[in-house]
Amino acid sequence: MGWLKRIFRSDSGADEETGVVLEETVEISKLPVWIEERSDRVFLRVKPEIEKQFKIIMDEKHTLLSNLEDLREAELQNPNIPEREKSIMEGNRASYISQHKQFLNMIETSNALTCKEVSLFCKNFDELLERLAATTVKGHLVMSEFFSNFTSKINKNVKIMKDAADRIESILGESNLNIESIDDIRKSVAELNSKIKVIAEIGEELGLHEKKLANSRTLRAKLEKSIDALKKQDSFAEFQEADNERNKSWKELKRIEEEIGSLFSPLDRPMRKFERMLLEDTKLFCRYIENPVTAVIDDDGLEILSLMEKMKSAISEGKIELKDKEAEKASQKLNQMTKELLTELRTRHAEIKKTIKHIDDEMRNNTVMQDLNDIQYKIEHADSQIKLLADKIDNAKKTRDRIDLELLKGELKEKIKQAFMIEVNIKWQDSQQAS
């Protein structure tokens, strides 16, 4: 192994006498080529012997093709076998020849062999050979029975090719050229480059998201200023004043409806009992039972009062069965229910409804709130975008932070050192410092 170390020291510029290995700097983009060049420097020492073995493989490949054609044209020694057996033989012969040709078609090499190509060939050859053995089990048995001399030649061809491939692997192993380590280095280089690409893409994504985020925040600030400007307008003050008046009117309207309800709620049970006794005006009475407020507003002639007088008499005469306290409370409410009171409540209710309608008309003609609502909608949309972009930026940064390029680079440097005995400084692109 001493000669191999001398090759490496000479290639890296190290002092051959002291054995001190000088540092070598390689840009990350050029690292894959550098790896192959380093591999090939050692490979060149054993390449002539490997080429001999490849010649054996390729010569045997041509011989095997010729033997397969001879098998295709071969005649049966006993042509009088049953047709069924002959049919089985022909089918298996065609399949046997086809599988071998597929195997041979996959065995190709270039004229300028490289370490990488040879290592891939050895790996693929073993896989192809396993597949050939698995797919020709039945065909081999049938061909051995009918054409044993041809199958012997074909098996010998395949055996010679396998022995040559095994010899190539032995040569690589004896040269101390660790193919598995080099493959591992290739994978590590690919992974490092892939992670660098991912980080670059994340950087572009972050730049785009951050620009959009800044624009959204700027837009939101402008919208806030627009709201402040609208609130300073006279129309906004007018709208607020109208809105306050509207709220007051609605409260008064609610109070009147509650007062009407309080007159009729204690009479609900007596009214339901009295309704069964009525022979006429039952629809009007039922409306008052279901919704006394609406019924009072709709009862222009206050016809309910005459019915209430009848119910009052029925209660006093004991025609409606009620408990003493219930009858007493009902009588009190009926006494309070005067035409003057109900008329006043109806009139006040109508006036307030009219006032509210007038205020609503004024507010509809004032566009300031529509403008404010439009701006507020835009602000809510901007807030949604800001949150979405902030989340995307946060997730992208977390993904980026999980990728430790320095760790990957350190592991790669150690693998290179173990495989090639060279201390390599990997230089980032974009003029970053080597390490």
Q: Is 2 a member of any domain?
A: no
Q: pLDDT band at 176, cuts 50/70/90?
A: low
Residue 358 and residue 237 share a domain? yes
Q: Is 152 a member of any domain?
A: yes
Q: Residue 400 carries which side chain, given as an amino acid letter?
A: R
Domain count, the chain: 2
Q: pLDDT band at 169, cuts 50/70/90?
A: confident
Three-state secondary-structure class, residue 341: helix
C-alpha 84/C-alpha 80 separation (Å) is: 11
Closest CA to 215 of 89, 381, 69, 330: 381
- Cβ atoms of 415 and 185 closer than 8 Å: yes
Closest CA to 420 of 239, 181, 260: 181
- Per-residue pLDDT of 23-50, as tens digits, reads 788 888 888 888 888 777 777 888 889 8
Domain boundary among 137, 161, 177: 177
Domain boundary among 314, 342, 366: 366
- Per-residue pLDDT of 393-415, as tens digits, reads 999 999 999 999 989 989 888 88
**What pLDDT does 430 receive?**
56
- Cβ atoms of 193 and 27 closer than 8 Å: no
C-alpha 312/C-alpha 329 separation (Å) is: 11
Residue 161 and residue 272 share a domain? no
**What pLDDT does 236 receive?**
79
Q: pLDDT band at 172, cuts 50/70/90?
A: confident
Q: Is 325 a member of any domain?
A: yes
- Per-residue pLDDT of 81-100, as tens digits, reads 888 888 998 999 999 999 99
Phi, psi angles (nearest 5°) of residue 22: -80, 155
**What pLDDT does 362 receive?**
81
**What pLDDT does 400 receive?**
92
Residue 257 and residue 158 share a domain? no
C-alpha 433/C-alpha 435 separation (Å) is: 6
Q: What is the dihedral of CA 365, 368, 370, 373, to 10 degrees?
A: -160
- Cβ atoms of 220 and 390 closer than 8 Å: no
**What pLDDT does 179 receive?**
67
Q: Is 102 a member of any domain?
A: yes
Residue 238 and residue 117 share a domain? no
Domain boundary among 155, 177, 199: 177
- Per-residue pLDDT of 277-328, as tens digits, reads 888 878 988 999 999 999 999 999 999 999 989 989 988 888 888 888 888 8
Region label for 213, one of left (φ > 0), alpha (ψ between -120 and 50) or beta (otherwise): alpha
Closest CA to 284 of 303, 262, 311, 312: 303
> What residues contact residue 72 under an 8 Å CB cut-off, 6+ apart?
93, 97
Indicate whether 432 pLDDT > 80: no
Q: Is 145 a member of any domain?
A: yes
Bridge partners of residue 425, in order along the sequence: 25
Q: What is the mean pLDDT of the segment spanning 106-117?
A: 79
Three-state secondary-structure class, residue 27: strand
Q: What is the mean pLDDT of the segment spanning 209-215?
A: 94
Residue 349 and residue 244 share a domain? yes
**What pLDDT does 227 receive?**
87
- Cβ atoms of 270 and 330 closer than 8 Å: yes
Tell me the residue length of the chain: 435
Residue 245 and residue 172 share a domain? no
- The pair of three-digit structure tokens given for residue 11, joined into one six-digit string: 């290639």
Three-state secondary-structure class, residue 433: coil
Q: Is 329 a member of any domain?
A: yes
C-alpha 184/C-alpha 411 separation (Å) is: 11
**What pLDDT does 5 receive?**
37
Indicate whether 15 pLDDT > 60: no
> What residues contact residue 365 under an 8 Å CB cut-off, 6+ apart?
none
Q: Is 24 a member of any domain?
A: no
Three-state secondary-structure class, residue 25: strand
Q: What is the CATH number of the domain that holds 69?
A: 1.20.120
Residue 247 and residue 312 share a domain? yes
Residue 43: which domain range? 38-177
Residue 238 and residue 322 share a domain? yes
Q: Is 221 a member of any domain?
A: no
Closest CA to 239 of 369, 376, 375: 369
Residue 62 and residue 151 share a domain? yes
Angle formed by the axes of helices 83-105 and 137-146, nearest 10°? 120
Residue 172 and residue 237 share a domain? no
